[in-house]
Chains A and B, each alone.
Chain A
Amino acid sequence: MKELLIVSLAGIAVLAADVIKFRKAVLPIAVASLFSLIFFCIVDWGRNENPMDNNMLLFDNFALGFTAILTFISLCWFLITTEYFGNDARRTDLYALTLFSICGAVLMVSYTNLVMLFLGIEILSIPLYVLAASKKGDRLSNEAGFKYFFLGSLASAILLFGIAMVYGATGSFDLGIISTASTAMSSPTPLLNAGIVMIFAGFAFKVSAAPFHFWAPDVYQGSPTPVTAFMATVVKGAAFAAMFRLFSGTFGSFIETYGDVIAIISALTLIIANIVAAVQTNVKRLLAYSSISHAGFMLGAILSAQNGDPKILLYYILTYGIASLTSFIVLYHVSAYQQGAEDFNAFKGLVKRNPVLAGAMTLAVLSMAGIPPLSGFLAKYFVISSVLQSGYLWLVIIMILTSVVGAYYYLRIIIAMFTPLENSGRIVVSDFQKYLFLLLSLLMVGLFFAAAIPDWLY
């Protein structure tokens, strides 16, 4: 409960700081609150706190683990985007909105009641609609906010409808009661089945899995790049964690019913996203499609959720989050210095223009391509291994074939960076940011060797 309180209070404090004209304190408040959030996740470890004993939230190790890594990624995000928000007069609003969004993420990983799940999704999403459109003068940003809002509301409605059906079938919103009621049925009733499918569709929209992904490229491309980075990492991670919580425990007994559905959606996502990404010329749009393709991989982790091992998903979200955050922020710096150019040409000669950015980007895309010794390889390996264990050999083959396509477009970015460019100016980033990029690069390699840590976590 402390976790939730801290982040909501921090959001309110940030807003208040603006009112009392104390803007300098905004970033420190946000950073300090996120730090203490991680701290309390460690303190509360293993306590299984059930706030106010009303079975709405349960801060078990699952919730704390996901809260901690999502907070960590948010923390990196706050620190590394200071350059973007630093000059913005509305940065207090934007920071407060982001903090509220994180608040929704905390709810989404700790709910034990479908009402709290819905609340969490809405609290997460509504600030994002605003953030997506926060570049007011920009047509694409407005389009992004508009699209995200309309399609997001539709998906929320579908999800809510699904929740209502599950309520109708089992008589409760509480995960425990739903679980007992559904295991009592020999096979799920049509009403429950429809409910599960609709909830799944709502989630598939949130995580941008095909065929519910059409909003994502436009929204990712139109939103300001730092906001895109937030959407692709924290938001996606929270949605997957919420999905895992529901589909591993509560609906875990019906794996035969929906396993094939998840596998097919995962395969579709991988195929469509990777092939479309391979023909992109705009790097931001390419990264958007790459983010969709990773959703396909994470669906593989959901597929094997009945093994009840959230480590795989946790590790995937962490490694993918770090790599994706790095790539988007490098893209932001590169395009900010070149009048917003986001195509491959903008990356030409980056090795000379800023070796740190180029190095971090190289590691990030290699990690996303899943090449050892970067942590992305292990993340993919864990998923592939568990999917194979669940008996979906064909999905593994598709994962592998699409990984090759993925390697192709990731390498195109690397090739562009290593192509020499005459008469190019240096791209300057502050020393602090440079160190952050180095830290992120170190994490991308270090997490590979520290992969034993998830063994200790649960």
Chain B
Amino acid sequence: MLTILLIILPVLCGAALVLLKTKTARMFALGTSLVQLLLTLAAVYLWKTGNNALVVFDKGWLGSMGVHCAFSLDGISLVMALLSAIITPLIIYASFNKSYKNPHIFYGLILMMSGAMMGAFTATDGLVFYIFYEVALIPIYFISMIWGSGNNKVKVTLKFFLYTIFGSLFMLVALLYVYQHTYPHSFQLSALYEAGRSLSGLEQGLVFAGLFIAFAVKMPVFPFHTWQPSTYDVSPTPGTMLLAAIMLKMATYGLVRLAVPMVPDGVTEYGTWAMVLSIAGIVYASCVAIVQKRYKLLIAYSSIAHVGLISAGILASNEQGIVGALFEMVSHGILAVGMFFIYDIVETRLKSDEMARMGGIREANPLFASLFLVLVMGSIALPFTSGFVGEFLLLQGLAIQNIYFAVFGGLTVILSAVYLLRAFQTMMLGKSNIHTAGFSPLTTHEKTVLIIVVLLVIGLGLYPSPLLDLANSSVQTLPGISY
């Protein structure tokens, strides 16, 4: 019951917001997302105390076709639910520095999206997962298309929409193919796991390919990434945050939840190619990030690099890799919000994010520079930041699988130091110029958001064990994992 509430509450409140023109839309949205956060914390508590009755929800929906409207929370889902529940209020609160047109629709769509993602993270039925995976696309498409900026936003968002739909339809075929082999026909994840593992190696490979195309488009993994930088660029900042911090995690979560346990042979036999793609993407995206002239695009490419590492770590399908991936998803989500909020702060003041025009912001605003530095350190995985824990485990997982993967995967850390520190240097250090001299101090609201993010980054870096334990407990019971 609690799980279904986590999904229904934001969706209904979002729908109500869209329909009712209210002046206090953003407060209402923030309140709803905070309630969702409390409910998630309650779910964590219930799960820790072993009280599962409230968490599991299972009702027949298309009974004759074996589809159940089934949701449940285990350690993996809880990590994702926590991520979504922490990030959503943060995104909503971060958006308070600007006023958006038709706020009731804008915030309504954000809430609906958050509910849909929660649905994908908690579904224990293959088709229900697929439906939520698709549903989440609609609000973000409208957010990016209507509130986005740039002359080509219509074209860019159209490409984004079609690309994602195209990818996810392959997942539908893959799921249906496995579903055909369940007796009696059922979409329950446990049934799909069993049927998937009974398939022959080649079949598993094909099913894996279908799933991987869907997830690779959404993450995105090289070479399916071409929609991403431009979409991140044209979307309004809250939209970009939603895309980078939570939505792409549906794809990485899908890899953990569907690909690895359902077609383990497919992952071990054909997953190497996918890992090669992911790791090639790390190097490629990092190199492209180095030559970016605009901060927002740099962060967009850096996101591709980090996600490549997560994807490779999951496909190594060992405990370290997957736990590390789960942790890194949370860490990356928090850091993405912070990094894009930095963009928002800079952009409102300078009306541009050309890094060449900046410089010397530290002189005008040392506090901002220091907070930014912490986020940069988190992104390049310095010890005592959340990024370190996740990337360390991911690299460990890769090393167990194949040492060369770990070597090339480790380039994420080195190359991200190159482009992020260079960005920091050009933006913040040096002499202030005509554009940055009058860089106004941070407002209380901006300070609050940045400090929350920084605290989360350092806190998770210093004391990662609660989250790791949560992830660990369920990863161990996931089928198809080697130790």
- B158 near A452: Cβ-Cβ < 8 Å: no
Which chain B positions have C-beta within 8 A of A397?
173
Asked if A373 meets B131 with Cβ closer than 8 Å, knowing A388-B180, A400-B170, the reply is yes
B50 at the interface (CB under 8 A from A): no
- B154 near A372: Cβ-Cβ < 8 Å: no
- The residue from A371, A382, A455 contacting B138, defined by CB atoms under 8 A apart: A371
B437 at the interface (CB under 8 A from A): no
Which chain B positions have C-beta within 8 A of A151?
none
Chain A residue nearest to B61 (CB atoms) is: A452
Which chain A positions have C-beta within 8 A of B145?
415, 418
Q: How distant is the Cα of A388 from the Cα of B146 in the complex, in angstroms?
A: 38
B30 at the interface (CB under 8 A from A): no
- B138 near A366: Cβ-Cβ < 8 Å: yes
Q: How distant is the Cα of A396 from the Cα of B210 in the complex, in angstroms?
A: 13
- B165 near A371: Cβ-Cβ < 8 Å: yes
Interface string of A444-458 (1 = CB under 8 A from B): 000000011001000
Q: Which of A157-198 contact B (CB under 8 A)?
A: none
Q: Which of A379-401 contact B (CB under 8 A)?
A: 381-382, 384-385, 388-389, 396-397, 400
- The residue from A373, A400, A455 contacting B169, defined by CB atoms under 8 A apart: A400
Q: Which of A389-439 contact B (CB under 8 A)?
A: 389, 396-397, 400, 403-404, 407-408, 411, 415, 418-419
Q: How distant is the Cα of A388 from the Cα of B137 in the complex, in angstroms?
A: 26
Which chain B positions have C-beta within 8 A of A408?
158, 162
Which chain B positions have C-beta within 8 A of A452?
60-63
Q: How distant is the Cα of A407 from the Cα of B65 in the complex, in angstroms?
A: 26
Interface SS, A side: helix
A377 at the interface (CB under 8 A from B): yes
Interface string of B112-148 (1 = CB under 8 A from A): 0000000000000001000100110110001001100
Which chain B positions have C-beta within 8 A of A385?
65, 176, 179
Distance to closest chain A CB from B329 (angstroms): 24
Q: How distant is the Cα of A419 from the Cα of B142 in the complex, in angstroms?
A: 12
Q: How distant is the Cα of A407 from the Cα of B162 in the complex, in angstroms?
A: 7
Distance to closest chain A CB from B397 (angstroms): 33
- A404 near B162: Cβ-Cβ < 8 Å: yes
Asked if A388 meets B176 with Cβ closer than 8 Å, knowing A408-B158, A415-B154, A455-B64, the reply is yes
Q: How distant is the Cα of A362 from the Cα of B331 in the complex, in angstroms?
A: 37
- B131 near A377: Cβ-Cβ < 8 Å: yes
- A451 near B161: Cβ-Cβ < 8 Å: no
Distance to closest chain B CB from A122 (angstroms): 37
Q: Could you tell me which A residues sit within 8 Å of B by CB distance?
A: 366, 371-373, 377, 381-382, 384-385, 388-389, 396-397, 400, 403-404, 407-408, 411, 415, 418-419, 451-452, 455
25 contacts between A and B (CB under 8 A): A366-B138, A371-B134, A371-B138, A372-B135, A373-B135, A377-B131, A384-B172, A384-B173, A384-B176, A385-B65, A385-B179, A388-B176, A388-B180, A396-B173, A396-B176, A397-B173, A400-B169, A400-B170, A400-B173, A404-B165, A407-B162, A418-B142, A418-B145, A451-B62, A452-B61
Please name the 9 residue pairs, one residue from A and one from B, whose CB atoms are nearest each other, closest first.
A400-B169, A372-B131, A404-B166, A372-B134, A455-B64, A407-B165, A372-B135, A388-B176, A415-B154
Q: Could you tell me which B residues sit within 8 Å of A by CB distance?
A: 60-65, 127, 131, 134-135, 137-138, 142, 145-146, 154, 158, 161-162, 165-166, 169-170, 172-173, 176-177, 179-180
Task: Contacts A377-B134, A400-B172, A400-B173 known; list 18 others, CB within 8 Å.
Answer: A371-B137, A372-B131, A385-B176, A388-B177, A389-B180, A396-B173, A396-B176, A403-B165, A404-B166, A407-B162, A407-B165, A411-B162, A418-B142, A418-B146, A419-B154, A451-B62, A452-B63, A455-B64
